[in-house]
């Protein structure tokens, strides 16, 4: 008889989670209903985390802006303004921080911007039309 040699493939290592499991457990313990909507929905835990992270980033942007103006500047924090932005999951109500001299230009959600970065259907549509025109110009017209 001939022996068949088999080699086992090594198991792939799971990537480490970016957050400790205890932190996730603490967040989930605060959710009243344990259904998908109350955890993953825009009004649920995931939506609240998205709002808190965006507002924290905006606050850090303003802190950096004020620090770059120097200590002698008369500019300082001056409350916040509500702003509704559109995300792939729906609307997100943010409190955008303001400064006294109105010189703060946020980068995360710029003034007059209505969509969160990385998701603008008009840009996606434009990119698709441009790609189609470049890949097969005889079939498609370039529409800008």
Q: Are residues 49 and 107 in the same domain?
A: yes
Pairing relation of β-strands 90-99 and 77-87?
antiparallel
Q: Which two tokens stand for residue 75?
A: 């500019």
> Cβ(104)–Cβ(73) under 8 Å?
no
Name residue, tokens 């770059």.
68
- 29 within some domain: no
Low-confidence ranges of the chain (pLDDT < 50): 119, 123-124, 126-144
> Cβ(123)–Cβ(98) under 8 Å?
no
Q: Are residues 58 and 101 in the same domain?
A: yes
What is the pLDDT, as a whole number, of residue 43?
81
Query: How far apart (Å, rounded) are the C-alpha atoms in residues 76 and 96?
Result: 14
Could you give the number of structural domains in the chain? 2
> Cβ(129)–Cβ(140) under 8 Å?
yes
pTM tops 0.75: no
Q: Which two tokens stand for residue 118?
A: 């990385």
- 14 within some domain: no
Q: Quick: pLDDT tens for 34-73.
A: 888 888 887 888 889 989 999 999 999 999 999 998 888 8
């Amino acid at each position: 008889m001939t022996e068949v040699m088999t080699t086992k493939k090594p198991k792939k290592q799971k990537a480490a989670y970016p957050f400790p499991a205890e932190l996730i457990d603490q967040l989930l313990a605060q959710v009243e209903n344990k259904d998908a909507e109350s955890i993953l929905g825009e009004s649920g835990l995931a939506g609240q985390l998205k709002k808190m992270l965006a507002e924290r980033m905006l606050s850090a942007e303003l802190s950096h802006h004020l620090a770059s103006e120097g200590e002698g500047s008369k500019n300082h924090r001056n409350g916040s303004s509500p702003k509704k932005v559109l995300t792939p999951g729906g609307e997100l109500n943010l409190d955008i921080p303001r400064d006294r001299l109105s010189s703060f230009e946020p980068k995360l959600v710029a003034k007059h911007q209505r969509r969160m970065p990385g998701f603008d259907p008009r840009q996606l549509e434009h990119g698709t039309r441009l790609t189609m025109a470049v890949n097969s110009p005889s079939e498609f017209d370039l529409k800008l």
